[in-house]
Amino acid sequence: MKTSARRLFTSLAVISVVVVVAVCALRTRASYLEYYGDGPPYFGRTTNMDKWQSPVVELLVMNALGLAWVSLVVYGALRRANSR
């Protein structure tokens, strides 16, 4: 692989990892604010308690997918570095 293509691939991998981590972090924060609210005590949760659902499963799935992507990119980068 040529040097310019390798640099492009590396920069795209780093950018994708940063974007995935940022999206996961922002989505987690938004979910917690939506589900638990910012008023005392857990305003969003107590107003509609009969319809309330825990955000944990949704967040676990999304963050697991993000972690899998980051792990895949890091594994590929380490494998490529060791093959040189």
Query: Would you place residue 80 in the very low, low, confident or very high pLDDT band (cuts 50, 70, 90)?
Result: confident
pLDDT, one tens digit per residue, over 34-78 is: 877 666 655 555 566 666 677 888 899 999 999 999 999 999 888
pLDDT on residue 69: 95
C-alpha closest to that of 71 among 4, 16, 26? 16
Instruction: Measure the CA–CA gap between 46 and 38, rounded to whole angstroms.
Output: 12
- Specify the higher pLDDT residue, 39 or 12: 12
pLDDT on residue 42: 58
Longest dimension (CA), the chain: 60
